[in-house]
Amino acid sequence: MSALPFDQRDGWIWFDGELVPWREAKLHVLSHGLHYASSVFEGERAYEGVIFKSTEHSERFRRSGQLMDFEIPYSVAELDAAKALCVEKNGDPNVYVRPVAWRGSEMMAVAAQNATVHVAIGVWPWPSMFDMATKMKGIRLDMAEWRRPDPRTAPSAAKAAGLYMIATLSKHAAERKGYADALMLDWQGRVAECTGANVFFTQDGALHTPIADCFLDGITRRTVIDLAQARGMDVVERRILPDELPSFNECFICGTGAEVTPVSEIGPHRFTPGNISRTLVEDYAAAVRPRARAA
Ligand code: PMP
């Protein structure tokens, strides 16, 4: 991956309806989105030039805006077309895709009823991190101190910028201790998710995963559930307490960025990445690639 800062790259950014040269895609410092976190975004991946589940991401993007009390001024079809154009224009068929929407500069106080909503889309290379052998060693997770909030205290179903402040704090703390990421509990002390990915466990051949009612119900999470069920596995969505961690054999996290990534440790608990994780890593890799899907 390029170490160049994101504002010093070349290419094209889709900005409020048109493609603009990458370095010219700027906004003013007095923007409501920056000061008050009235901003929502998406994270998607294009494989072989095709964005995986693009329409589901566009729908979630619009829904996130509505949960923040604003309407994204483009339809799902327009967003899908804009993302596809961005991937094509930038030339690399395997990229991460980042749509973002934010309130602009017309009003700079808590209320921003009349502020316009802006939308931009950037794409950049984000290779899958590991080969299979490295992946199957598993990553190490810290236990985060921050908890996912009660859905009555934050719009937790939105992929909203403000919800990421505790994710960044948790991930920084984890990285300082040498971990790859952190597992967050929810406001009631139950296992929730990682800082940017959902979590699954295995027990007696079945998958167990927390109910996504106070954190993002990932599009990858739903894909993994479908893939596991297509293999005849039982999938149990339920409350999972941290005390139960020693009773699970395998653990993996999943998300657009992480794809399916096995876990070897969560704080003091050890897991052994095994056949179920390997199967789902492979099934997900096949599901996202249009050529494999067509075969
Ligand atoms: N939870 C959080 C907090 C995330 O940021 C992400 C990544 N968008 C996920 C879960 C996984 O979501 P998805 O599978 O839709 O990428």
Span from the CA of 106 to the centroid of ligand 1 (angstroms): 31
- Tokens encoding 281: 């890593």
Mutate to test the pocket of ligand 1, among 164, 216, 254 (most ligand atoms within 8 A of CB): 216
Q: Which atom of ligand 1 is nearest to the CA of 222?
A: 14
Span from the CA of 196 to the centroid of ligand 1 (angstroms): 5
Q: What are the residue boundaries of the structural domains of the chain, listed by start?
A: 6-125, 132-294
Q: What is the pLDDT of residues 10-60, one digit of tens each?
A: 999 999 999 999 999 999 999 999 999 999 999 999 999 999 999 999 999
Report whether pLDDT(1) > 90. Answer: no
- Tokens encoding 164: 């990421």
Residues contacting 95, CB < 8 A, separation 6+: 45, 46, 87, 123, 124, 125, 126
Report whether pLDDT(146) > 60. Answer: yes
Q: What is the pLDDT of residues 54-112, one digit of tens each?
A: 999 999 999 999 999 999 999 999 999 999 999 999 999 999 999 999 999 999 999 99
| Helical H segments across 91-179, by residue range | 132-135, 165-176
The H-or-E segment that residue 226 falls in is helix 219-230
**Which of helix, strand or coil describes residue 17?**
coil
pLDDT of residue 131: 84
- In CATH, the number for domain 6-125 is 3.30.470.10
**Residue 81 CB: number of other CB atoms within 10 A?**
15
Mutate to test the pocket of ligand 1, among 54, 198, 226, 260 (most ligand atoms within 8 A of CB): 198
Q: Which atom of ligand 1 is nearest to the CA of 42?
A: 8
Check if the beta carbon of residue 159 is closer than 8 Å to that of residue 196.
no
Span from the CA of 107 to the centroid of ligand 1 (angstroms): 30
Helix axes 275-288, 219-230, angle to 10 degrees: 110
Active-site amino acid positions: 159
Q: Look at domain 132-294 and name its CATH class.
A: alpha beta
**Ligand 1, pocket residues at CB < 6 Å:** 43, 167, 193, 196-198, 215-216, 218-221, 255-256
pLDDT of residue 226: 98
Q: What is the pLDDT of residues 173-227, one digit of tens each?
A: 999 999 999 999 999 999 999 999 999 999 999 999 999 999 999 999 999 999 9
Cα gap 220→217, rounded to integer Å: 9
Report whether pLDDT(2) > 70. Answer: no
CA contacts within 13 A on the Cβ side of 275 = 6
Query: Would you mind telling me the total number of residues written for the chain in this entry?
Result: 295
Span from the CA of 154 to the centroid of ligand 1 (angstroms): 17
Span from the CA of 263 to the centroid of ligand 1 (angstroms): 17
Q: How far is CA 241 from CA 144, 168, 216, 265, 282, in A?
A: 14, 23, 18, 16, 29
Mutate to test the pocket of ligand 1, among 42, 159, 280 (most ligand atoms within 8 A of CB): 159
Residue 68: burial class (beta carbons within 10 Å; 0-12, 13-18, 19+)? buried
Report whether pLDDT(292) > 80. Answer: no
DSSP sequence for 215-273: S---HHHHHHHHHHHHTT--EEEE---GGGGGG-S-EEEEETTTEEEEEEEETTEE---
